[in-house]
Amino acid sequence: MTERFTVSMDDELSARFDAYLRQHGYANRSEAVRDLVRGVLSEQARQQDADRPCVAAVTYLYDHQERDLGRRMTEAHHEQVDLTLSALHVHIDQRLCLETLVLRGPIAATEAFGNALISRPGIQHGHLHTIPLDQPSD
C-alpha cells in the first residue's frame, strides 16, 4: 500500500531540492523524499539501538609498506571474524592498498570494529557506512 501526501515549500527551497534531484539522478521527487526519510530513520535507529542488527561497509586506504601495517590489519580482521562477511583487497599501485570489509552484527560492535580499523596509525583515508536492519541478525 502506498500513502500519498502533499509537501509545501517556498520557491527557493523547491529550486534547491530540484537541483539536488538532478545532481543525484532521481527520476522524481517521490523517490528522493523516500530516500531522505529512510536515511533519517536509519540514522535514528543507528543512534538509539546499539544492539540492533546491521550490515556495514568499512573502506580504507593504506601504504602496505608502512611498518608492517598490512599484517597488523589482517590480524585485526581475524580477531573479529564473527563480524566479517567478506573482505576485498585491491592493489592501487606499488605502495597503496584499498580494503573493503562487509560486516554484519550489532550496530555497536560493527561500528566499534570499523572505527578501530580506520583510526589506526598509517590508515590514510577511511569511511564506515552502517545500515540498520529490520530483521534479526542470524
3-class secondary structure, 130: strand
Q: What pTM did the predictor assign?
A: 0.75
Pair 71, 124 in one domain: yes
Kindly state whether residue 37 falls inside one of the protein's structural domains: yes
Q: What is the pLDDT along the chain (138 residues), one digit of tens a residue?
A: 888 888 898 999 999 999 998 999 999 999 989 888 888 887 787 778 788 999 999 999 998 888 788 888 888 888 899 999 999 999 999 999 999 999 999 999 999 999 999 999 889 999 999 999 986 545
- In the prediction, which pLDDT does 48 show? 80
Please state, in angstroms and rounded to a whole number, the distance separating the CA atoms of residues 29 and 47: 27
Residue 62 resides in a domain: yes
Does one domain contain both 42 and 103?
A: no
**Does the residue 16 lie in any domain?**
yes
Residue 86 pLDDT? 94
Which CATH number covers residue 86? Answer: 3.30.70.1150
Give residue 72's domain range.
53-132
The C-alpha angle 92, 95, 98, rounded to 5 degrees, equals 40
In a domain, 115, yes or no: yes
Whether residues 16 and 65 share a domain: the answer is: no
